Amino acid sequence: MNFIRVAAACPVTNVAHINFNLENIKDCINKALEQDSKLIVFPELCITSYTCGDLFSQQQLIEKSNYAIRRLCLFSKNKDILIAVGAPLVYNHCLYNCAYIIYNGKILGIVPKSYVPNYSEFYEKRWFTEGINITNKNVNFSFQENVPFGINLIFSSGTFKFGFEICEDLWTVIPPSSYLSLAGANIIGNLSASNELVSKTKYRKSLVENQSARGISSYVYSSAGVFESSTDLVFSGHLLISENGITLGENDRFQRENQVITSVIDIDKLNNERLKNLSFSSNANLFPFEVKEISFSFSDVSPKIFDRFVDKHPFVPSNEHEREERCKEIFNIQASGLAKRLNHTGIEKAVVGISGGLDSTLALLVMVKTFDLLNLPRKNIITITMPGFGTTDRTYNNAVDLCKELDTEFREINIVDACLQHFKDINHPAEQHDVTYENVQARERTQILMDIANKEGGLLVGTGDLSELALGWATYNGDHMSMYSVNCSIPKTLVRYLVNYVADKEVSNKVSKILLDILDTPVSPELLPKDNSGEISQKTEDIVGPYELHDFFLYYFIRQGATPKKILFLAKYAFKDTYDDETVEKWFDKFVKRFFTQQFKRSALPDGPKVGTISLSPRGDWRMPSDASYKAWI
């Protein structure tokens, strides 16, 4: 499991007071080491301060800066942390704005700023030369010779590969980090001195997030702080750590003390995303320079304290506003997909089986939205409830009330007599409550729905969700089959929020009360007889396990291609207050076995819209042989 903690730091500085600046840089390094960080990124030119102006042409400043770099190298000895610090460099009578990359007493390499801004408030070309054409050079110091110098450097410790750019480089059309990412760098550091303007913070943050997403990388950004000169500009010390488009860490700006933020980066996740993203790999050789990889070795990388946020419910946004927007978007996708299928076929009626459970409720809500969208009467939605041996009064009444309140055409067909006849036909004892007993009911219901759809010239809408498909919790050629499946890429944990969203935002109080009671009902196929008190006796999660665990397993198994070891580690961490380790392991084994052995059902799925990043459609995202062994995953 390749996790690594990285840090972004903003030290207190005093313009041109190099000894003072160095002491605060050391203090930040110590703070980062206390948190077990393996990389620390400092602001642009923080050894001297960014706002030295014409002092950059003073030999004294340059010599003091070089001496500070030497002292920093001595300080870094026997410290297991990669340091990226900003300082000037004179090379061939030109001055360069550079990132010095230091590890364990040595400068591993020096990266110049590729693009030097000279517009609006920036006039760096007065002092600095652009480094865009600097590659494969070497620099000699009195304390170290042949230090690699160029924009083409990647610093590699096993699977951790670091690239660096400086401030303006990020604002260009093609940032140098784009090329470095394509060449293998998965952690990018940016040493910056970005002044504050109204609304600039939001734009800066979006640049960092977007660049980490384009590069499928982590991006560690550090900007100069409030103690830079305020002659014309004010700096805030903005620190950001992003991973593949998501901000993991951000500080409060305008602080007046040494600032260090850290986050744990998941390198396996990034590398797996790159492996799957063929657009990334097809661009892998499209860069204008040959990369020089500089190797070094961390003594120990694994974070001693794992405090990375791991969401129990990765399919469900934790932010309420974002969750509401997500639900609205999903309903639009589902309804648009169903509307297209109805338009294409010229069908103006639809059929759905309603059980009083979550999935069929969601499917019906999507159908109502679709028919309203197409200006078709809701009476063209034929809702059918089919009570059987295990149907309880609660689910039955909710199904009846919901269909009537939504003004659909409602029908009731009891399947008990038909199933008893079928038991007789196939010589199966009605009192033998096995898989045949259950599947007879599921297939009888599907036969009724299919035949009524044919009779009415309607489209049979399927109700099964993504979690059930992952586990194969469906009767083959029973509830497994339909003419169009609107829930097929929505996991069970998200189904709940979608139904709850409609209850809160979209319907009358009476319908809302029905939906809330459906949400409170245990998930069950109701294929086994009721208990003595008339309640549900067959609860799905007692048999296959908690859906919140299975959705978690599914996300990391499909989305990240994570190993069982990593999935279990993350699950135990995320659910440490909910399930013990033995329970997590038990249900993970169940998930793996069912996922592999039930692939044949997914290989014959009806059409349905892809809603999120994970889909198990055999025509799109998941193409797996039905005969693959699960042994390597157990």
Annotated binding site for ATP: 353-360, 463
Which of 160, 153, 33, 40 shows the shortest CA–CA distance to 98? 153
Largest interatomic CA distance in the chain: 101
Q: State the DSSP code for 59.
A: H
Instruction: State the Cα–Cα distance between residues 162 and 177, nearest whole angstrom.
Output: 10
Token pair for 320: 């309420």
Annotated binding site for L-glutamine: 119, 194, 200
Residues in the chain, total: 634
* Phi, psi for residue 208 in degrees, rounded to 5: -65, -45
Annotated binding site: 119, 194, 200, 353-360, 439, 463, 468, 473-476, 601
Is 113 labeled as catalytic in the residue annotation? Answer: yes
Instruction: State the Cα–Cα distance between residues 19 and 265, nearest whole angstrom.
Output: 33
Residue 612 vs residues 245, 248, 487, 574: alpha-carbon distances, Å: 16, 22, 11, 22
Instruction: State the Cα–Cα distance between residues 585 and 582, nearest whole angstrom.
Output: 5
At residue 475, the 3 state secondary structure works out as coil
**Of 31, 38, 64, 113, catalytic:** 113
Instruction: State the Cα–Cα distance between residues 149 and 153, nearest whole angstrom.
Output: 8
Instruction: Give residue 110's identity as a one-letter amino acid code.
Output: I
Instruction: State the Cα–Cα distance between residues 37 and 72, nearest whole angstrom.
Output: 17
Instruction: State the Cα–Cα distance between residues 488 and 453, nearest whole angstrom.
Output: 20
Q: State the DSSP code for 633.
A: G
Count each helix (H run) and each strand (E run) in the chain, helices first: 19, 20
Annotated binding site for deamido-NAD(+): 439, 468, 473-476, 601
E strand intervals along 106-223: 106-112, 137-139, 147-149, 153-157, 160-166, 187-192, 218-223
Token pair for 239: 């620190």
Residue 559 vs residues 169, 485, 608, 612: alpha-carbon distances, Å: 31, 22, 19, 11
Token pair for 551: 């959705």
**Of 10, 28, 31, 44, catalytic:** 44
Which of 77, 277, 44, 41 shows the shortest CA–CA distance to 163? 41
Is 167 labeled as catalytic in the residue annotation? Answer: yes
* Phi, psi for residue 190 in degrees, rounded to 5: -125, 120
Instruction: Give residue 609's identity as a one-letter amino acid code.
Output: P
CA atoms lying within 13 Å on the CB side of residue 300: 7
Instruction: State the Cα–Cα distance between residues 238 and 562, nearest whole angstrom.
Output: 33
Contacts of 47 (CB under 8 A, 6+ apart): 18, 21, 22, 25, 65, 68, 69, 72, 85, 86, 87
Instruction: State the Cα–Cα distance between residues 286 and 277, nearest whole angstrom.
Output: 16
Which of 207, 205, 186 shows the shortest CA–CA distance to 265? 186
**Of 52, 167, 419, 488, catalytic:** 167
Instruction: State the Cα–Cα distance between residues 521 and 308, nearest whole angstrom.
Output: 34
Helix (H) or strand (E) segment spanning residue 19 = helix 18-34
Contacts of 327 (CB under 8 A, 6+ apart): 497, 498, 501
SS (H, E, C) 95-129: EEEEEEEEECCEEEEEEECCCCCCCCCCCHHHCCC
CA atoms lying within 13 Å on the CB side of residue 401: 19
The catalytic residues are: 44, 113, 167
